Amino acid sequence: MRVTFKKYILHFKEPGGTSRGVLHDKETYFLMLEDEGKYAFGECNLFKGLSADDREGYEKKLTEVCTRIPSEKENILSSLSEWPSIQFGVETLLRDWNNGCRRIIFPEAFSNNSFSVPVNGLIWMGTESEMKKRIDRKLSSGYKCIKLKIGAIDFEKELALVKYIREKGGESLEIRLDANGGFSSEEALKKIEKLYPYNIHYIEQPVRAGQWAKMAQLIKESPVPIALDEELIGIFKTDDKIRLMDTLKPSILILKPALIGGFAFCDFYRNLLKPRNGYCVVTSALESNIGLNAIAQYIATFHPQIPQGIGTGQLFNNNIPAPYHLSPGTLHYDPGGAWNFKSVV
């Protein structure tokens, strides 16, 4: 058994706008395990400026991990809690290997060699006219749930876009908003109150993470349900995760496996929410199709009734070809499709 890693730069087809800036490229790392002529793959999805393990020594840590995996296997995972993207990659790699190097990460996800997961349609930030065009494309494609990124352009223009979505999509359309911490703590509640008349499903992370008292107050007072996202990043200790939940009392969590430490921590948060009658939306974080495949299979294991925040693999012009296809609002695993790792191996 031999384990190596490779840095890979994903290139956006169109620039992706967020409140943190415009993305043109996305850096990630692939783990590869070669065993008797077969390959298993994992993805260490390092998200620059957002991942808690975006720090000096990342590739040195990857080198160490590759050396340790053949002898330690799953036992290595407990030592990677402060390297969440690497933890996610190692967990995916070992699951692939344990299931015969077939990209089957969660066998229980499959029925008749396939599965499907409901997804929302994501609208990236841009100019007002660009965003309207993207909204129109999603609605004409048949999406029943639209997620709009806000917090970067003038709020009144964003409010007009929300109104536009509601009018074009009708009352049955589900609207989700993602502020990525873009509202100031002083203005957040007033802005949310202006959004309330448009029947918003929830708004993600209205203020920047780390302001626990302010966020707890917002969750209590907001007329629109608030979902925690970035708030979960960089919380490594179990006691601190529990303290976060007890302090903020959220009812909705956005779980990004690569940013919080893999599927074990997703399960941990899901279990914490059960007695609160809350729910989670599992979301990708600009992974390639290697990471996306693992997240999609994980989602399929619990048969969600509401759309999840997983990507569709269509953002990048050099993604890894994978056996998925998209129909309105649903991502399908195609048993007749194939992977192609020529650009990796």
Residue 256 a catalytic site member: yes
At 281 the pLDDT is 97
pLDDT tens digits, residue range 131-155? Answer: 899 999 999 999 999 999 888 778 9
Per-residue confidence (pLDDT) for residue 20, from 0 to 100: 65
The CA distance from 122 to 61, in Å, is 33
Q: What is the pLDDT of residue 17?
A: 67
Quote the pLDDT of residue 126: 79
Domain limits of the chain? 2-102, 108-333
| Residue 54, pLDDT above cutoff 70 | yes
Is residue 19 over pLDDT 80?
no
Q: What pTM value is reported for the model? A: 0.95
Spatial distance between the Cα atoms of 215 and 212, rounded to a whole number of angstroms: 5
pLDDT confidence band for 249 (50 / 70 / 90)? very high
Is 255:278 a contact under the CB 8 Å cutoff? no
CA pair distance 116, 68, nearest whole angstrom: 35
Distance CA 46, CA 48 (A): 6
Report the side by side order of strands in the sheet with 38-44.
2-18, 21-35, 38-44
Q: 2-102 has which CATH code?
A: 3.30.390.10
SS3 call for 49: coil
Cα–chain-centroid distance for residue 318? Answer: 19
Average pLDDT of span 23-31: 94
Q: Which of the following is catalytic: 26, 147, 149, 191?
A: 149
pLDDT in tens, 219-229: 999 999 999 99
Supply the Cα-derived Rg of the chain in whole angstroms. 20
Three-state DSSP class for 188? Answer: helix
- 6 classed as catalytic: no
In the predicted model, what is the mean pLDDT of residues 245-269? 96
The strand ranges marked E within the chain are 2-18, 21-35, 38-44, 116-118, 121-123, 145-149, 174-178, 200-204, 226-228, 252-255, 279-282, 324-327, 330-333
* Active-site residue identified among 132, 256, 274, 342: 256
Positive or negative, the CA dihedral 289, 295, 300, 305 is: negative
Each residue of 156-184: pLDDT tens digit?
999 999 999 999 999 999 999 999 898 99
pLDDT at 15: 79
Structure token digits, residue 51: 């991942």
Structure confidence at residue 130 as a pLDDT band (50, 70, 90): confident
Q: Which CATH architecture has domain 108-333?
A: Alpha-Beta Barrel (3.20)
